[in-house]
Homo-oligomer: A and B are copies of this chain.
Amino acid sequence: MRKVTINDVAKVAGVSKATVSMVFNKKDINISDETRQRILKVAKELNYIPNSIARSLATNKSYSIGIILPDITNPFFSEMARAIEDEANKLGYNVILCNTDNKMKKEEEYVKLLISKLIDGIIFISGGESKKSLKLIKENNVPFVLVDRYIDGFEENYGVYCKNYEGVVEGVEYLIKNDKKRIIFVNGTSTLEISKQRFKGYKDTMQKYGLYSDDLIFEGDFTLESGKRVTEEIINKINDIDAIFYSNDMMAFGGIKVLLRNGYKIPQDISVMGFDNIQISEFVEPELTTIAQPIYDMGKDACNLLIKLINNEESIEKTHYFTPKLIIRGTT
Contact = CB atoms under 8 A, between A and B. Distances in A.
Contacts of A282: 224
A72 interface: yes
A67 B81 CA distance: 14
How many interface residues does chain A have, given as a range? 35 or more
Given A96-B95, A253-B283, A79 B86 contact: no
Nearest to A56: B53
A53 B49 contact: no
Interface stretch (A109-117, A150-158, A188-196): A109-117
Contacts of A116: 49-52
Nearest to A61: B53
B62 A53 contact: yes
B72 A117 contact: no
A31 to B, nearest CB: 22
Contacts of A85: 72, 97-99
A202 B79 CA distance: 34
A7 interface: no
A112 B78 CA distance: 24
A139 B51 contact: no
Contact of A49 (B3, B67, B115, B253): B115
A141 B256 contact: no
A99 B86 contact: yes
Contacts of A224: 282-283
A82 interface: yes
A47 B256 CA distance: 50
B283 A53 contact: no
A72 B71 CA distance: 12
Nearest to A101: B86
Interface of A: 1, 3, 47, 49-54, 56-57, 62, 64, 67, 71-73, 75, 78-79, 81-82, 85-86, 89, 94-99, 112-113, 115-118, 139-141, 224, 253, 256-257, 260-261, 279-280, 282-285
Shortest 8 CB-CB contacts between residues of A and residues of B? A52-B116, A78-B78, A97-B97, A253-B283, A53-B118, A73-B82, A260-B285, A53-B56
